[in-house]
Amino acid sequence: MSTIYKRRSVRKYQERDVEDELILEIIRAAMHAPSAGNEQPWHFVIVKDKAMKEKLVHLHPYAKMLSKAPVGVVVCADTELAKFRDFWVQDCSAATQNMLLRATELGLGAVWCGVYPDQDRIQGFRAALNLPENVVAFSLVCIGYPAENPEPVDRFKKERIHFERW
């Protein structure tokens, strides 16, 4: 639970590379997420190249921090793997959240930038990353060693809990 409470969106990073084994460990955590029918519809595109990161920044108005992040991971869904139509959205959400938690646990900072359902972003990412037609860019996770440490915030709101009915 301490990792869940500690996790915050980190948008400022040190000028320090993230080791490949840590990136793979973060993606390993993503692949351990639950998925509908255990279909595991995800693919991951690791982006370290400065020119590619800049191209993605121009496609996503809220991903400016990718310019300074050592690595970006684009979480994608392969719709041909879907046994249950459109549940890939939940599957990729769970995978993205696992990435954020594992990054926090490893002492890294990360932030989730939504790509889906914005069609302009989806098409832009498809073209930039050469994604097949059956693959949809879902999210972009920027990762790096944090240059900021946002304080944990208690987000528990008892008034949002309902028993049996509203």
Alpha helix locations (H) across 33-154? 50-59, 88-105, 119-129
Looking at residue 83, what is its pLDDT?
A: 83
In the chain the domains, ranked by start, together with CATH numbers, are 15-148 (3.40.109.10)
> Per-10-residue mean pLDDT for the chain, 166 residues long?
95 98 98 97 98 98 98 97 90 98 98 98 98 98 96 94 97
Kindly report whether the global pTM for this prediction surpasses the value 0.85. Answer: yes
Neighbours of 115 (CB within 10 A): 24
Looking at residue 85, what is its pLDDT?
A: 85
